[in-house]
Amino acid sequence: MPPESRPIPRYVAEPPQDGLPYGRFAQMLAERFVTACRELESEDEEIGEPGEIAWFPDRTYAGRTYIPAAATTSTGSEVFGYVSYRRAAGEGEPADYQAFADATAETAAANPDWTLDLSDHELEPWRGPEGRRGMVTLVWGRALVPNGTIATAELGPTTTDGCPLVEERFTLVSLDDYTGDLLEVRLYGGGGRELARESLYEGE
């Protein structure tokens, strides 16, 4: 096999290890996420109180586990973000929790033409040959069309990650914005049939 013409990181995060959070663990995560939401400031309008939180599959990158979240607020906006943690060596208890939250008025409910509902957060920069730079990015979302089985991250001609859907939700970790290529998410169904695709930069 010839060497890669463009060596970039692929499938750098561990696949999901646990089911979606529930019970006391979900409650503890929710407390941290809601605290992060309440620290948000909006100059234009009140964000409101988060409602029921939807959790997304966990992904572990560089020793930190990320569990994304989203919730509709009392004003009809959406808050989104994640709670992350590290584990001690082996299967130790989670520690060093961090939470991030942001808000948007652009929701799937207000955009019935959407096929994917995506959120993202930059994790850290990555440098390739000759100082070329990209950004490792956490992406999570929901399939808004039926019969999806797996979501993939695509950077130009390269598939960089994949995640089976859990209750129509998925989480990806991928390099983005590298050598002119921007990250795109694709949804596939049975038999590898493509059902939807969307760039992270749709509408920008």
The domains found in the chain, sorted by start residue, are 23-109 (3.10.450), 112-191 (no CATH)
Produce one character per residue of 143-172: b if its CB has 16 or more CB atoms within 10 Å, e if not. Answer: bbeeebebbbbbbeeeebbbbebeebbbbb
Element (H, E) at 187: strand 183-189
Ordered per-residue pLDDT tens for the chain, 204 residues: 666 767 899 999 999 999 999 999 999 999 999 999 998 865 556 888 999 999 999 999 999 999 999 999 999 999 999 999 998 766 778 889 999 999 999 999 999 999 999 999 999 999 998 889 999 999 999 999 999 999 999 999 999 999 999 999 999 999 999 999 999 999 999 999 999 999 998 755
> Which pair of structure tokens corresponds to residue 188?
């596939």
Give the Cα separation of 4 and 126 in Å (integer): 18
Give the Cα separation of 151 and 86 in Å (integer): 25
Give the Cα separation of 132 and 176 in Å (integer): 12
pTM: 0.94
> Which pair of structure tokens corresponds to residue 154?
């695509």
Instruction: Report the candidate in 85, 66, 83, 80 with the shortest Cα–Cα distance to residue 15.
Output: 66
Give the Cα separation of 5 and 106 in Å (integer): 39
